[in-house]
Structure 1
């Protein structure tokens, strides 16, 4: 009844209840990752349309229809800026604006999808012996993922070539791309392996005794040889050898020339001779003259 105190009086005509005279249009914007998981809370909006009519309270008839109108004259949904999520790029910087809404418009639903950014990293292999870069490995992957690359095989290859590992700061479980727009850099330092050996050198002294015509005047004098040693370091990468110092210098004693009856030697003796590892074999000749 229009008049609650008169239950048998005129009734509100059909279509004048609140649900019939009010229509709300809703907007929902979803923010999702590529896999469908929620990336950020939904953003919502709404506008309400009212239908105004005038009813004759005596007859219960509609006498005037003022039509539909939007509350606050809101007939559109503005574009809403998409949230910024580190490491991801939204499919749209903002939602699409919707205009011309009426009471007959359907609810508006939009979905903004976030795709992971492409990130990069690199690993540099350095020869500490020469200071030069041996090689560089460039890596890339989606934000939030872990790269399957490991340094083990490359290091093993260099070790087979004669290198020795000094340090490796690349993560043992692989680099995780968690620094957006930053190139993550790692270094593997190697040095040349070396092999140490000992080198020996013998130095001899021989004295020949001859007549002026070159024939033998006396048996040669052959001193006891002296031996020198030094350490040799061989670069396992280049094969280059580095030599240490020879062992201490040594001497051959002075040697008197034999006396031959009727002959005079041009050298009464061969003096004491001091030699080292760089010395050549010594050879002297004593000549006898009648």
Structure 2
């Protein structure tokens, strides 16, 4: 059987028989390794947390250790180690953990940038054109050393950053740099580590060469306003000055024509803004007055004197004129009366007065220089207000009005007031002829009325020598009985029948109404004719003519008169003799009946 002890150093192997034991030399090995600079990690050896983090995929102290086994016999510091009797001869493997003591270490590296500036041609060719630029950055790297072996961190540090910033080439009069700017340089941890591992520093060197040049410029000028067009062009997004250069490394500048490539664009822009090209001025130009014929000549090979050219312009103008009209309007309005606010007479509109003026307009500025107005003034004639019957105007005329081109339209309102006239007597209206009364509508078949109350029996008058007019008693107020059926006997019963004191229900009388307009009531007396009518009991109802005041006149249908419980008798047959009563008796009864009818009519009217 074998017992294997792994210590991250040469493996220790113990060999013995099953169920046997052997001396444990682990403590001796731990002591020897400690003397060589290793540090024993007892915690990890016993299956607990290691002193330092172990890389993933290596060892796991939780399961790979030298702690007590399940049978509590083998541990790293035991005196003897026991062999088991498993069929697997190599399953007793134990782990002892050590770590090394590390020493902090540091290293640095320097990176340097150098930019040189020299003349490439001209009288100073090869000489220094400007002071060189020197930049230095120092970087630091940290690590640990164990037994002389250093392990370095991946990252470097520098308080000033990891880049050399952009460097603009300095301006040298009459010379142009071949490079206007040296771009920034960014250093990486890999660049620094590579240089440090090779024990080398980092150097970045640049040379900027300057060449003398021939310069030419072109500007634009406004001769009308006597000002430069620089501000106007800049405000409108155009270049205010153009340049051309000769910067080749030779002496052929005098053979090279001067050209301003953006000049055509600017001239076209100015033309669109109503500027007119006039001429070109400058050393070597041809002074042309048409732009398509302009020539600026060649470079003059004189680096100390630049060539300047100017294009001159004037403003485009246009002949203009303007007119103005002045109107006069007069409205005629009713100021009062039934037509107040309405037009009293047609509106007067005078013929327009027109003024004209000529001038010259500056199409660049928009300003116009005007001549005097023609004519200077004019006049509207006077206007007499028209006459309107029965009205008077508050203005008899509108006077003549003088106007100028600055005058506004004239507007007047003439108000007409009604002339008041004395009132004339009113002619009374002719009375209209009263309408003929319409035939009453035949009443509908009434319902059977309640039995009327029996009237009191009149006192039978005696036969005096001189008849007197009997005074009938005041009849009871009728209870509006309905007319009786034609075949029913509605004649009061015998005078001897006692009065029925039972209160009977009132039945409304159906009175037909005419659909036509009511007949005007005449102020003349009204006559009523009461004629004799034979009743069912052979008594006679006498209808007489009654003259009443119109205020008490009320038309009643015959049925209403017939239905009254008061049976009017004009004649009474004596039972003994069969002869008629004397004329005085008849007259008395007629007057009594008349008084009853008048009382009933007046009472109904009041109601």
Shorter-chain TM-score: what band? 0.5 to 0.7
What RMSD in Å do the two structures reach over aligned CA positions? 3.1
1:9-42 Cα deviation digits (max 9, x unpaired)? xxxxxxxxxxxxxxxxxxxxxxxxxxxxxxxxxx
Deviation for aligned residue 1:158: 2.1
Q: State TM-score, norm by structure 2.
A: 0.27
Q: Distance in 2 between matches of 1:173 and 1:243?
A: 36
- By percentage of residues, which structure has more strand? 1
Could you tell me how far apart the structure 2 residues matched to 1:266 and 1:196 are?
Answer: 49
Query: How far apart, CA to CA, are the structure 1 residues paired with 2:352 and 2:125?
Result: 89
Aligned counterpart, 1:278: 406
1:280 shift after superposition: 2.5
Counterpart pick for 2:245 among 117, 121, 140: 140
Structure 2 gap segments, 5+ residues each: 1-120, 128-210, 234-239, 248-252, 286-293, 420-607
Aligned with residue 206 of structure 1, among 292, 307, 329: 329
Superimposed CA distance per residue, residues 119-171 of structure 1 (whole angstroms, 9 cap, x where no aligned partner): 21211112345524232112222642443415556424421332112332141
- Structure 1 gaps of 5+ residues are 1-86, 94-115
Structure 2 equivalent of residue 225 of structure 1: 352
8 Å CA contact 2:259–2:296 kept in 1: the answer is yes
Q: 1:277 to 1:243 in 2, by over 3 A?
A: farther
Superposed CA deviations along residues 232-262 of structure 1, whole A, max 9, x for unmatched, are 6555446x35373543222111212223344
Query: Using a 3 Å threshold, how does the CA distance of structure 1 residues 281 and 267 change in structure 2: closer, same or farther?
Result: same
- Deviation of 1:270 after TM superposition, in Å, equals 1.1
Find the aligned partners of 1:149 and 1:192 in 2 and give their Cα distance. Answer: 26
Matches within 5 A, 1:82-97: 89=123, 91=125
Q: Which residue of 2 aligns with 1:44?
A: none
State the secondary structure of the residue aligned to 2:405.
Answer: coil
Q: Separation in 1 of the partners of 2:279 and 2:267?
A: 11
- Closer/same/farther in 2, CA of residues 279 and 125 from structure 1, 3 Å limit: same
Of 168, 182, 197, which residue of structure 1 is paired with 2:320?
197
1:123 paired with 2:218, answer yes
- RCO higher in 1 or 2 (8 Å CA, sep ≥ 6)? 1
How far 1:271 moved relative to its partner?
A: 1.6
Are the counterparts in 1 of residues 355 and 374 from structure 2 also a CA contact under 8 Å? yes
Alpha-carbon distance in 2 for matches of 1:148, 1:168: 14
Secondary structure class of the residue paired with 2:123: strand
Secondary structure of 2:267's partner? helix
Would the aligned equivalents of 1:204 and 1:224 in 2 still touch at CA under 8 Å? Answer: yes
Aligned-partner Cα distance in 1 for 2:281–2:256? 16
Matched with 1:242 is 368
TM-score, normalised with respect to structure 1 = 0.52
Distance 1:92 1:148 in 2: 28
Distance in 2, matches of 1:258 and 1:243, equals 46
Residue among 342, 345, 350 paired with 1:215: 342
CA distance in 2, matches of 1:263, 1:278: 37
- Contact preservation (8 Å) 2:254, 2:299: yes
**Residue 298 of structure 2 corresponds to which residue in structure 1?**
176
Contact 2:216 2:258 in 1 (8 A): no
Compare CA radii of gyration and give the structure with the larger one.
2
Equivalent in the alignment of 2:273: 161
Q: Secondary structure at the match of 2:356?
A: strand
